[in-house]
């Protein structure tokens, strides 16, 4: 599975390494292209997953604001609910990033 912007790969992982939550594919941190993500100041807290960290995605085509997010420290109940520790896994805004 890949996450791309304008054909540029920003994450790539096998389907078995992807964690699916609420229709989003969460990529493991090791699957991300180095230096593609920078932390954003956009705040968000999911009622059941916890505090999210938004990320801007940078490619040779430019910067895409808040195009990704992760949960660095998900709530323990969220990990149990998902059935997998998804700490630091990254999902992408499908309006800006193609996930296929």
Which CATH number do you get for residue 66? 2.170.150.40
What percent of the chain is modeled with pLDDT above 90?
Answer: 98
Residue 44: domain span: 2-99
Q: What does the alpha-carbon distance between residue 96 and residue 60 come to, in Å, rounded to a whole number?
A: 15
> What's the structural domain count of the chain?
1
Q: Compute the average pLDDT of residues 24-31.
A: 98
Q: Compute the average pLDDT of residues 69-94.
A: 97
Q: Compute the average pLDDT of residues 25-34.
A: 97
Residue 26: predicted pLDDT = 98
pTM listed for this prediction:
0.96
Q: In what order do the strands lie in the sheet with 62-70?
A: 37-39, 53-59, 62-70, 90-92
Residue 94: predicted pLDDT = 96
SS3 state of residue 64: strand
Average pLDDT of the chain to the nearest whole number: 97
Q: What does the alpha-carbon distance between residue 36 and residue 26 come to, in Å, rounded to a whole number?
A: 16
């Amino acid at each position: 599975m890949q996450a791309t912007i304008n054909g540029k790969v920003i994450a790539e992982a096998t389907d078995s390494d992807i964690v699916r939550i609420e229709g989003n594919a969460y990529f493991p941190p090791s699957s991300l292209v180095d230096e593609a993500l920078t932390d954003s100041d956009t705040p968000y807290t999911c009622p059941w997953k916890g505090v999210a960290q938004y990320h801007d995605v940078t490619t040779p085509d430019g910067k895409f604001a808040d195009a990704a997010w992760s949960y660095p420290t998900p709530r323990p109940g969220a990990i149990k609910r998902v059935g997998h520790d998804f700490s630091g896994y990254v999902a992408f805004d499908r309006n800006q990033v193609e996930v296929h």
